[in-house]
Amino acid sequence: MIVAMKKVFLLLRQTQAQAALEDLRTLGLVHVEHENIPSGVELSQINEELNLIEQSRSILSTISQKQSVKSAALGQEGWMSVCRHIVDLQKRYDQLREYSVTLNGWIDLWEDWGDFDPQEVIALQQKDVHLKFYQIPKNQIKILPPGLILKIISSQDALLNCLVIGSANTELNFKKLELPKLSLSQMKNRLSEDIKIMQEIKEELASHLFYQNDLIATEESLLSQKDFYAVLRGMGQSGEIVYLKGYIPVDTEERLVKQAKQNGWGILTLQPSEEDSVPTLIRNPVWIKLIQPVLKLLELVPGYNELDVSPLFLIFFSLFFGMIIGDAGYGLLYLMLTFIVHKKMGTKIKDKTPIFLFYVLSSCAIIWGVISGTFFGQGWLASLGIKPLVPSLNNINFVQALCFLIGAVHLTIAHSWRLALKLPSLVAFADLGWISIIWAAFFLAKNLLLGDQFPLFGKWLIYGGITLVVLFTSPQRNILKCIGQGLAAIALGLVNNFTDVVSYVRLFAVGLAGVAIADAFNVMAFGSAKAGVGAVIGGILILIAGHGLNFILGPMSVLVHGVRLNVLEFCSHANVSWSGFAYKPFTKIKTKGG
């Protein structure tokens, strides 16, 4: 559930501001809203230092880690010196790498001309002997102007590398090569030396991996300082008084007031207004928190005045995962992989919520696979006479109808939730009307797409639903305005309700595609295996490739379709726009490094 917030103002003497912020940061309760745009010398310097350390860490991240990383206990000057040296080394490496590309290009260009000293060519030019280098098509050699001395050095396909001796003004309409600054042997020697220096730089950079943990800790310390000065410089001021504005969870108000009295701060707490930008803090039981990794991955935060749909998101997302993956074999693989990760990395991972979420999702895939008779496909099980626990789940019409039913129930829950929150206001009846329209859309979808008979009461669901939406979307004394706004809502939402219910058929379509791919590769593999011993290996490779493809694409399909049905279809009906931002109290940053 979304925790209620209080808006808070703290009034301080300017002289006590820094000490007060240290106490406030230790308390870790206030989500600060800056009154002014934070700026100042301290912030500029910290940003420069963060940029330096970020460059250094980015450079080190590209180095293969062949040695254990330990902390070197760098001081303020120490880490800056190390970072500058790392950046300088990388700049030198990049310069050499770029020049080596140029050298390789020159070597490729002049390789066919042989090794000569460019200085000797310059000396000849000073004696009025002008040597020029041209690439001339073979069929153009015979039509060169008279009076030229031409020496063919080598050929490249249809081109001839030619040395032309003439006057200073001699110019030909062919590709002319500028005299290189180095001889071919000098180029190769320089390239060899540069490659050696680049390798030495890489090795020296690798030696700086020793400081990696300390650099992480230093970066976190800088971020903590930046956060502190951002709050300090973002405070409002009136004479000798500075003030801080922010938000706190309502159940922490007593603690903050007590701290304010002890320290002599002025404090004022208010209920947030509709115009306030209130952060969202969600507190849920452990089982509901399982969905948080998905919401965090998608960066979804409900607005403060919106619904926390986490419980329903988890329940339906798990169901959608089971239906889309729909295979007990893949579910077992996901479960085993999750167990291995948990076993090997469990002690290193502080937040194990994603691991437990995958236990749940894998179990859902296994359950759906068992009841639908799907284990790395369906065809081979059917050929062995193994029947699913629920044969109807292999009936295309039944599964499509089930998808429509899930959609109708899912969207009904959304409007029922809104209806409950609006009561006893008359506008709640508009949601009752939308619920009626959703179920009419369910029966209409079955009629149009599956050929089921549309029930007699279906038209009354439509009539009743439209009437309730028109009259109660915006109930008011001006009946014409009331009906006009209601008709506008119907015009925008009537077709959408039908398409939203139908869109749940994607659960069937994507799940069926996965089964079809698995069965197709099984047929190919078993057919190949019958061809001989050598073909057995080919069959095994086909199985690995086909099921590996399904194994990888399955979760991606869930992210696309399972998330969409929750985030778009359901949340649009529940009026959740994910317009919020997370509650982040002003607190000390916990150090991970060191």
Instruction: Return d(Cα 45, Cα 51) in angstroms, integer.
Output: 10
Q: How confident is the model at residue 244 (pLDDT cuts 50, 70, 90)?
A: very high
Answer whether residue 95 shows pLDDT above 90.
Answer: yes
CB-based contacts of 365, cutoff 8 Å, min separation 6 = 321, 322, 325, 326, 327, 328, 330, 331, 334
Domain end point (choices 249, 279, 309): 279
417, part of any domain: no
3-state DSSP helix/strand/coil % of the chain, to nearest 5:
65, 10, 25
pLDDT (0 to 100) of residue 496? 87
In this predicted structure, the answer to whether residue 358 has a pLDDT above a threshold of 90 is yes
pLDDT at 150 over 90: no
Label residue 461 by pLDDT band (50, 70, 90): very high
Predicted pLDDT at 141? 84
Better pLDDT: 38 or 473: 38
Token pair listed for 576: 């959740």
- Whether pLDDT at 71 is above 70: no
541 within a domain of the structure (yes/no): no
* Model confidence at 529: pLDDT above 80: no
User: 1 with 284: CB under 8 angstroms?
Assistant: yes
The confidence score (pLDDT) of residue 69 equals 45
What six digits make up the tokens of 314?
């988890």
In the chain, the number of structural domains is 2
Q: What percent of the chain has pLDDT over 70?
A: 96
Burial environment of residue 238 by CB neighbours within 10 A (0 to 12, 13 to 18, 19 or more): exposed
Measured between alpha carbons, how far is 318 from 361 in angstroms, rounded to an integer?
6
The per-residue pLDDT for 66 is 58
Residue 68: pLDDT band (50, 70, 90) is very low
pLDDT of residue 530: 61
What confidence category does residue 522 fall into, taking pLDDT thresholds of 50, 70 and 90? confident
Per-residue confidence band for 474, with pLDDT thresholds at 50, 70 and 90:
confident
Instruction: Tell me the pLDDT band of 73, cut-offs 50, 70 and 90.
Output: low
Residue 334 vs residue 207, higher pLDDT: 334
Within a domain: 154: yes
What is the average pLDDT value for the chain, to the nearest integer?
89
Helix H, strand E, coil C: the string for 89-148 is HHHHHHHHHHHHHHHHHHHHHHHHHCCCCHHHHHHHHHCCCEEEEEEEEHHHHHHCCCCC
Residue with tokens 């001395």: 149
Is residue 594 pLDDT above 50, yes or no? no
**How much is the pTM?**
0.79
What average pLDDT does the segment 219-226 reach? 91
pLDDT score, position 170 = 79
Position 160 pLDDT exceeds 80: yes
Among 244, 279, 314, the domain boundary falls at 279
Interval 279-306 mean pLDDT: 92
Which pLDDT tens digit goes with each residue over 531-561?
Answer: 665 667 777 888 888 889 889 988 999 988 9
176 lies in a domain? yes
Q: Which residue, chain included where needed, has tokens 């040597």?
A: 131
Which of 262, 279, 296 finishes a domain? 279
At 275, which CATH number?
3.30.70.240
- CB of 30 closer than 8 Å to CB of 244: yes
Say if residues 364 and 329 touch (Cβ distance below 8 Å).
no
152 occurs within a structural domain = yes
Identify whether 146 is preceded by a cis peptide bond (ω within 30 of 0).
Answer: no
- Residue 399: the pLDDT is 94
Is residue 203 in a domain? no
The answer as to whether 4 is a domain residue is yes
pLDDT at residue 214 in the model: 87
The residue with tokens 């239906």 is: 323
Is residue 503 predicted with pLDDT exceeding 50?
A: yes
Q: Which two tokens stand for residue 479?
A: 């009946």
Question: Which of the four pLDDT bands, split at 50, 70 and 90, describes residue 346?
Answer: confident
In the predicted model, is pLDDT for residue 347 greater than 80? no
Sign (positive or negative) of CA dihedral 232, 237, 241, 242? negative
pLDDT at site 574: 92
Q: How far apart are CA 254 and CA 260, in angstroms?
A: 10
pLDDT attached to residue 379? 84
Residue range 556-580, pLDDT digits in tens: 999 889 999 999 999 999 999 999 9
For the cut 80, the answer to whether the pLDDT of residue 483 exceeds it is yes
Q: Structural domain of residue 6, as residue ranges?
A: 1-36+234-279
How far the first Cα of the chain sits from its last, in Å, is 36
Q: Is residue 584 part of a domain?
A: no
Give the span between the Cα atoms of 320 and 214, in whole angstroms: 44
**pLDDT for the residue numbered 590:** 65
- Report the sign of the C-alpha dihedral through residues 53, 56, 60, 62, in that order: positive
User: Of residues 347 and 432, which shows the higher confidence score?
Assistant: 432
